[in-house]
């Protein structure tokens, strides 16, 4: 008996016409053993994206937005028009393997304690090399690609990850709606990490589906505008998702993040330094909003920070975010201190040394299945 549910694939584009001829055929040709549909959300493009999809891919449902709602708003709009019990989100600059959707959905139906899945994402220009297999998070909220640069063939086993990659991920519709979907205040950047954090806070796991393979036309580019949004969203994500006690106790980890990110901003010139400053000013100017968001998010909590934070790194790796000699030297000198104080803070929050060395177990709210990391 086929147990795979109806799935909706949602692709949000903004002036994405150059990528759609490789992305959409691969999505339409999925070897999925049940019904699925493909939805293209156009975020107010000024190119020929809509005309291209309408002409060449009539099986794709087109949703035209009258404005650019970013990754978060565009995907939420797509969900409003989706019929699937499972929602799969994918970037336009990708090309999925034929079994991508089947393997992405499989962990969700195999174990109800799995809340979100993410693909093994390889580089479009070097498909034997990993772009990311989910995302790693440091205690300062700095999020980086998990297993980036590793040989793709060496990663063939599913595993729990702190966060999914929004380039290719899936979630059950009922959970997505219960958590309020993507937070549209993020617009873009870290909205995938924020949703992953809330999924785990609700008692579910985020899982790498290693046999769900998709290629991504990825290159690291960080404009001043992106710096501002990433930093603002990092602050917002931490303020929303951590308890007040955790926010206080993790101050050393936050300082490590500031050393790293200020080092990066200063090394890249005045525009990035101003962008970093603007992110801080935004947070200070929206404290009432942030407090309200914190209260709403904490109301969904079913798992303590002590359980969640076991998979987060104490501090960002040296040179991972900082750039330039000054930033990297400062981070190198302070990293041991920050790591020790962060571990002490975790212990104070409630994470014992035994918890640090063993897998955390949580019960999904709607399942009697005991979830074990790495099962």
Residue-range domains of the chain with CATH: 7-216 (3.90.550.10), 224-358 (no CATH)
What pLDDT sits at residue 346? 75
For residue 53, is pLDDT > 80?
yes
Q: Is the pLDDT of residue 26 over 50?
A: yes
> How many angstroms separate the CA atoms of 261 and 276, rounded?
8
Distance CA 188, CA 71 (A): 5
Is 101 in contact with 9 (CB distance < 8 Å)?
Answer: yes
Q: Is residue 260 exposed (0-12), middle (13-18) or buried (19+ Cβ within 10 Å)?
A: buried
**Residue pair 178/54 in contact by the 8 Å Cβ criterion:** no
Residue 358 pLDDT class (50, 70, 90 cuts): very low
Alpha carbon distance 23, 178 (integer Å): 30
> Residue 296: is its pLDDT beyond 80?
yes
- Regarding pTM above 0.85, the answer is yes
pLDDT of 366 over the 70 cut:
no
The count of residues in the chain is 375
Residue 369 CB-half CA count within 13 A: 18
Question: Alpha-carbon distance 352 to 228, whole Å?
Answer: 36
Which ranges constitute the DSSP H helices of the chain? 20-28, 49-56, 70-80, 100-110, 173-178, 191-201, 224-241, 244-249, 251-267, 270-285, 287-298, 305-308, 324-349, 353-357
- Looking at per-residue pLDDT, the higher value among 190 and 307 belongs to 190
For residue 374, which phi and psi values (nearest 5 degrees)? 85, 10
Q: Which two tokens stand for residue 61?
A: 């449902």
pLDDT value, residue 2: 67
Output the pLDDT for position 222. Answer: 80
Confidence of residue 332 (pLDDT cuts 50, 70, 90): low
- Inform me whether the pLDDT recorded for 361 exceeds 50: no
pLDDT of residue 58 exceeding 60: yes
* pLDDT recorded at residue 206: 98
pLDDT digits (tens, 9 = 90+) for 234-284: 999 999 999 999 999 898 888 878 888 888 888 889 999 999 999 999 999
Average pLDDT over residues 122-128: 96
pLDDT at 266: 87
Task: Judge contact between 371 and 363, C-beta under 8 A.
Answer: yes
- Determine what percent of the chain is predicted with pLDDT higher than 90: 73
In sequence order, the 6+-apart residues with CB closer than 8 A to the CB of 48 are 17
**pLDDT value of position 268:** 87
- What pLDDT band is residue 320 in, cutting at 50, 70 and 90? low
| Alpha-carbon span 269 to 227, nearest angstrom | 12
Tens digit of pLDDT for each residue in 167-224?
A: 999 999 999 999 999 999 999 999 999 999 999 999 999 999 999 999 999 887 889 9
Q: Which residues pair with 114 in a beta bridge?
A: 205
Residue 137 has pLDDT above 50, yes or no: yes
pLDDT of residue 218: 87
Q: How many CB atoms lie within 10 A of CB 148?
A: 17
């Amino acid at each position: 008996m086929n147990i795979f549910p109806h799935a909706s694939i949602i692709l949000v584009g903004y002036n994405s016409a150059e990528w759609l001829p490789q992305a959409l055929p691969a999505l339409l040709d999925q070897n999925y053993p049940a019904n699925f549909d493909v939805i293209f959300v156009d975020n107010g493009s000024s190119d020929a994206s809509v005309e291209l999809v309408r002409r060449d891919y009539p099986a794709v449902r087109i949703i035209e937005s009258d404005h650019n709602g970013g990754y978060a708003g565009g995907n939420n709009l797509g969900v409003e028009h989706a019929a699937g019990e499972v929602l799969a989100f994918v970037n336009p600059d990708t090309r999925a393997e034929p079994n991508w959707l089947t393997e992405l959905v499989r962990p969700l139906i195999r174990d109800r304690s799995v809340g979100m899945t993410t693909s093994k994402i390889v580089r479009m220009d070097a498909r034997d090399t990993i772009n990311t297999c989910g995302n790693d998070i440091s205690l300062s909220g700095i999020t980086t690609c998990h297993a980036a640069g590793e040989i793709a063939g060496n990663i063939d086993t599913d595993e729990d990850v702190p966060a999914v990659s929004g380039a290719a991920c899936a979630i059950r519709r009922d959970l997505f709606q219960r958590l309020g979907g993507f937070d549209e205040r993020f617009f873009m950047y870290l909205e995938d990490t924020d949703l992953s954090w809330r999924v785990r806070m609700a008692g579910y796991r985020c899982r790498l589906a290693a046999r769900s393979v998709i290629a991504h036309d990825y290159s690291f580019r960080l404009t001043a505008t992106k710096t501002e949004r990433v930093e603002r969203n990092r602050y917002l994500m931490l303020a929303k998702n951590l308890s007040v006690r955790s926010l206080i106790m993790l101050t050393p980890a936050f300082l490590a993040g500031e050393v790293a990110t200020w080092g990066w901003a200063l090394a890249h010139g005045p525009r990035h330094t101003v962008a970093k400053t603007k992110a801080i000013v935004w947070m200070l100017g929206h404290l009432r909003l942030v407090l309200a968001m914190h209260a709403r998010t904490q109301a969904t909590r079913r798992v303590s920070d002590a359980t969640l934070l076991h998979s987060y790194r104490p501090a960002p790796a040296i040179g991972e975010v900082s750039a330039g000699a000054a930033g990297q030297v400062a981070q190198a000198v302070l990293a041991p201190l920050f790591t020790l104080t962060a571990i002490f803070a975790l212990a104070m929050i409630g994470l014992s040394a035994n918890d640090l060395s063993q897998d955390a177990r949580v019960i999904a709210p709607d399942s009697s299945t005991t979830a074990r990391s790495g099962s």
